[in-house]
């Protein structure tokens, strides 16, 4: 038998190293499980967190974290024995205190990575918003937007509690948060806030206060929010639109508020060519007015099915169901509702787009019906018909709705450095930006306009071999400056990177903005002025496709029995 020649000290050291490796492996599993629950945004804790037998299947709700550890015991045979041994040592590292500590450490590591990426970019933008949580505590969320490795990133940095929403308090909060990330306030080139007075005020707003320490920053009011405000003011001003929205919400409350009524509506089969005939009646969003198109679309495409369901429910023996169904039948048979429903369809049909599209206003050409209305198409293509009976609805609802939405869009989407943003888009995406835009950007950033124009021409010659899709992505344009080009063309590189870091940057949509100077005045002339310039017969004109849509629904409703 050979004697072990290793010393006791060496044996203790080896055992300690093995224990360290085992503990690290065990802690890695704990952290991975916590990160999984955090990434999936699911609750960690349960009702009864019994840790005496985590490795055993239990019918008690121990929470997602402990149950995930139980499942991982099947894949990691050593984890079961490790949990048992750590239980004996009273060091399982699964308590709520340890969970929060580990999550905080992971969050700090991620913030350091985010800050390092933002520092690697010369400029960055901030997105700031505030709201009250369920405990009525005011919280401010802060995002960073920057260009990193050829990609424009928008990353969340955290929630910050505040007791006041005054300008100076918010300014100190943002300043402190940015300083903790070791970022320079002077490098902020874009600030995306809401339109509240404490944020957007010209003298006492946070945007104005940030200008003092971030002279290169551009204030941006979320375009999705602006669209919501424009639609909200339009819908709440025009009486037929108000009525149509109220009836749509009542239809949802009535048909979807009962399993019995929902089943009756679902079982009705109506032969309609529209492929979306199976849509459910949806509730209207309380905050996102652009989402109300889904509710309007469901009613427009399924009006015959809705009427048949209401007729069936109007024979119900329940007094409340009888009264509500007949009341809704009378409401949807009213011509004001049918007319308002069609006007809503015209106005909000194009607001059904995703969040990324909502960052800029979509300046598409209007439909041929609206072009015919304002005289933008030849009369040979504008089929119109004289119908004196509907003059009241044309003038007081249809024309007024279009005029109101145009005025709201112009009011909401002008000012607040919007001209600078459009000029930046023209310089970045266009191969031949206008002289006015070059002068505007040069004055805003304090650079030489002649140097900016010359460097832009040089860059276009260097960039001639790049494919066209690359030119529609601002992050890829920034990447084109690599390999020393940014040192040769520092001015145009600075302008491009500033635009990439702005919170308003949407590549494809903004590139379309820069292709032409299509302002609201050119696309949407004031309807009221058009009416003043026309005689009485011209004022009575209405595009036939729109009016026929109203007549179809109106005639269908008129033929129904009235209780």
The band of 277, judged by pLDDT with boundaries at 50, 70 and 90, is low
410 occurs within a structural domain? no
Statement: residue 386 has pLDDT above 60: no
pLDDT at 358: 40
Q: Are residues 214 and 154 in the same domain?
A: yes
Verify that 27 and 75 share a domain, yes or no: yes
Q: Of 350, 383, 400, which residue is a domain's last?
A: 350
pLDDT (tens digit per residue) in 59-84: 888 889 989 999 999 889 899 888 88
Position with higher pLDDT, 556 vs 447: 447
Segment 307-320 mean pLDDT: 88
Least confident piece of the model among 144-148, 331-335, 358-362: 358-362
pLDDT band of 105, cuts 50, 70, 90: very high
Nearest to 147 by CA among 121, 119, 111: 121
Report CA 426 to chain centroid distance, whole Å. Answer: 24
Same domain membership, residue 21 and residue 71:
yes
Looking at 335, 350, 365, the residue that finishes a domain is 350
Tokens of 447: 């650079």
pLDDT at 490: 83
Task: Tell whether 216 and 249 lie within a shared domain.
Answer: no
DSSP state of 398: I
pLDDT in the model for residue 30: 92
pLDDT recorded at residue 351: 60
* Confidence grade of residue 504 (pLDDT, cut at 50, 70, 90): low
pLDDT at 329 exceeding the cut of 50:
yes
Q: Place 100 in a pLDDT band, splitting at 50, 70 and 90.
A: very high
pLDDT above 90 (res 178): yes
Highest mean pLDDT: which range of 305-314, 376-385, 547-556? 305-314
Same domain, 78 and 143: no
pLDDT score at 480: 66
42: Cβ contacts below 8 Å, ≥ 6 apart:
64
Q: What is the pTM of this model?
A: 0.65
**Residue 145 gets which letter from DSSP?**
E
Residue 421 lies in a domain: yes
CA distance 408 to 238: 13
pLDDT mean across residues, the chain: 75
Cα separation, 460 vs 204, whole angstroms: 42
The verdict on 344 and 245 lying in the same domain is: yes
> What distance in Å separates the CA atoms of residue 460 and residue 430, rounded to the nearest whole number?
10
Of 406 and 502, the one with more pLDDT:
406
Minimum mean pLDDT range among 124-128, 394-398, 406-410, 433-437: 394-398
Same domain (yes/no): 242, 346:
yes
pLDDT higher than threshold 60 for residue 226: yes
| Residue 201 forms part of a structural domain | yes
CB 417 within 8 A of CB 443: no
Report yes or no: 501 and 190 within 8 Å, Cβ to Cβ: yes
In-domain check, residue 147 = yes
CA distances from 64 to 28, 36, 48 (A): 17, 10, 12
**Local confidence band at 239 (pLDDT 50, 70, 90 cut-offs):** confident
Task: Say if CB 303 and CB 263 are below 8 A apart.
Answer: no
Q: Is residue 185 one of the residues assigned to a domain?
A: yes
How many CA within 13 A on the CB side of residue 335?
A: 15
pLDDT at 524 over 70: no
Instruction: Give the pLDDT score at 531.
Output: 33
- Do 337 and 428 belong together in one domain? no
Q: Quick one: how many helices (H) and strands (E) in the chain? A: 28, 7
The domain tally of the chain equals: 4
Range in 72-81, 116-125, 126-135, 392-401 with the lowest mean pLDDT: 392-401
In a domain, 83, yes or no: yes
Span 337-375, pLDDT tens digits = 888 888 888 777 766 544 344 433 334 445 555 455 545
What's the first-to-final CA gap in the chain, in angstroms?
107
Local confidence band at 115 (pLDDT 50, 70, 90 cut-offs): very high
What angle is formed at CA 46 by the lines to CA 40 and CA 51, rounded to 5 degrees?
110
For the chain, give the longest Cα–Cα distance: 119
Flag whether pLDDT at 276 surpasses 50. no
Residues in the chain: 563
Nearest to 328 by CA among 262, 264, 253, 250: 250
CA atoms within 13 A on the CB side of 358: 17
The CATH number that applies at residue 217 is: 3.30.420.40
What pLDDT is stored for residue 101 in this prediction? 93
> With 60 as the cut, is the pLDDT of residue 503 above it?
no
Q: What is the phi/psi pair of residue 401, to 5°?
A: -65, -45
Residue of 454 and 472 predicted with greater confidence: 454
- Sign of CA pseudo-dihedral 409, 410, 416, 420: positive
Q: Which of 486, 501, 516 is the last residue of a domain?
A: 501
Q: What pLDDT score does 515 carry?
A: 41
Domain housing 436: 416-501
The pLDDT value recorded for residue 440 is: 87
Do both 89 and 127 map to the same domain? no
In sequence order, what are the beta bridge partners of 386?
A: 541
pLDDT on residue 117: 92
Confidence bin at 476 (pLDDT 50/70/90): low
Contact 67, 43 (CB under 8 A): no
Residue 271 has pLDDT above 50, yes or no: yes
Residues 152 and 204 in one domain: yes
* Per-residue pLDDT, 536: 36
In the predicted structure, residue 520 carries a pLDDT above the cut 80:
no
Q: Which residue has the higher pLDDT, 136 or 352?
A: 136
411 is a domain residue: no
Complete DSSP assignment for 58-102: -SS---HHHHHHHHHHHH-HHHHHHHHHHHHTT--S-SHHHHHHH
Q: Is the pLDDT of residue 150 over 90?
A: no
| pLDDT value at residue 2 | 60
Using CA atoms, how far apart are residues 135 and 126, in angstroms rounded to an integer? Answer: 26
Average pLDDT for 37-64: 86
Among 64-78, 274-288, 388-402, the least confident range: 274-288
Structure tokens at 113: 């990575």
137 in the same domain as 47: no
85 and 166, same domain (yes or no): no
Dihedral of the alpha carbons of 377, 379, 382, 388, in degrees to the nearest 10: 130
Looking at residue 236, its pLDDT comes to 80
Going by C-alpha positions, the residue among 272, 278, 263 that lies closest to residue 312 is 263
Tell me, yes or no, whether 109 lies in a domain.
no
Q: What is the pLDDT of residue 482?
A: 64
């Amino acid at each position: 038998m050979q004697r072990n020649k290793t010393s006791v000290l060496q044996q203790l050291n080896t055992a300690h190293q093995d224990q360290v490796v085992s503990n690290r492996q065990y802690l890695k599993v704990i952290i991975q499980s916590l990160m999984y629950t955090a990434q999936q945004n699911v609750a960690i804790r349960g009702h009864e967190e019994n840790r005496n037998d985590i490795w055993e299947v239990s019918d008690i709700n121990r929470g997602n974290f402990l149950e995930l550890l139980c499942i991982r015991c099947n894949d990691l045979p050593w984890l079961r024995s490790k949990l048992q041994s750590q239980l004996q040592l009273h060091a399982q590292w699964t308590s709520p205190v340890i969970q929060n500590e580990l999550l905080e450490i992971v969050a700090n590591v991620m913030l350091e990575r985010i800050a390092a990426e933002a520092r690697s970019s010369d400029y960055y933008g901030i997105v700031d918003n505030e709201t009250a949580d369920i405990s009525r505590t005011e919280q401010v969320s802060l995002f960073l937007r920057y260009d990193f490795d050829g990609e424009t990133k928008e990353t969340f940095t955290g929630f910050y509690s505040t007791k006041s929403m005054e300008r100076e308090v918010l300014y100190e909060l943002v300043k402190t948060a940015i300083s903790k990330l070791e970022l320079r306030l002077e490098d902020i080139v874009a600030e995306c806030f809401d339109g509240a007075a404490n944020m957007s005020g010209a003298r006492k707003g946070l945007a104005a206060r940030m200008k003092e320490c971030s002279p290169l920053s551009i204030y941006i009011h979320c375009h999705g929010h602006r669209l919501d405000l424009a639609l909200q003011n339009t819908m709440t001003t025009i009486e037929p639109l108000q009525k149509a929205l109220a009836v749509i919400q009542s239809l949802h409350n009535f048909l979807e508020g009962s399993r019995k009524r929902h089943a009756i509506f679902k079982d009705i089969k109506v032969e309609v060519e529209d492929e979306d005939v199976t849509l459910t009646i949806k509730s209207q969003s309380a905050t996102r007015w652009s989402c109300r198109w889904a509710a309007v679309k469901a009613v427009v495409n399924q009006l015959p099915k809705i009427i048949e369901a209401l007729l069936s429910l109007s024979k119900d023996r329940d007094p409340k169901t009888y009264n509500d169904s007949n009341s809704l039948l009378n409401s949807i048979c009213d011509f004001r509702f049918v007319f308002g429903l069609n006007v809503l369809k015209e106005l909000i049909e194009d607001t059904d787009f995703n969040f990324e599209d909502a960052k800029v206003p979509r300046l598409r050409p209007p439909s041929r019906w609206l072009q015919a209305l304002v005289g933008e198409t030849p009369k040979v293509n504008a089929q119109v018909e004289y119908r004196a009976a509907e003059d009241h609805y044309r003038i007081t609802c249809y024309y007024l709705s279009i005029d109101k939405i145009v005025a709201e869009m112009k009011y909401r989407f002008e000012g607040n450095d919007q001209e600078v943003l459009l000029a930046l888009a023209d310089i970045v995406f266009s191969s031949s930006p206008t002289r006015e835009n070059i002068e505007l950007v040069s004055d805003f950033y304090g650079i030489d306009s002649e140097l900016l124009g010359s460097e832009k021409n040089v860059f276009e010659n260097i960039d001639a071999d790049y494919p066209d899709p690359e030119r529609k992505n601002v992050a890829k344009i920034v990447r084109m400056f690599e390999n020393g080009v940014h040192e040769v063309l520092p001015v145009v590189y600075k302008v491009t990177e500033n635009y990439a870091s702005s919170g308003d940057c949407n590549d494809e949509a903004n590139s379309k903005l820069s292709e032409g100077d299509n302002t609201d005045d050119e696309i949407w002339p004031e309807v009221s002025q058009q009416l003043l310039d026309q005689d009485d017969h011209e004022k009575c004109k209405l595009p036939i496709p729109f009016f026929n849509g109203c007549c179809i629904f109106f005639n269908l409703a008129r033929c129904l029995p009235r209780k």
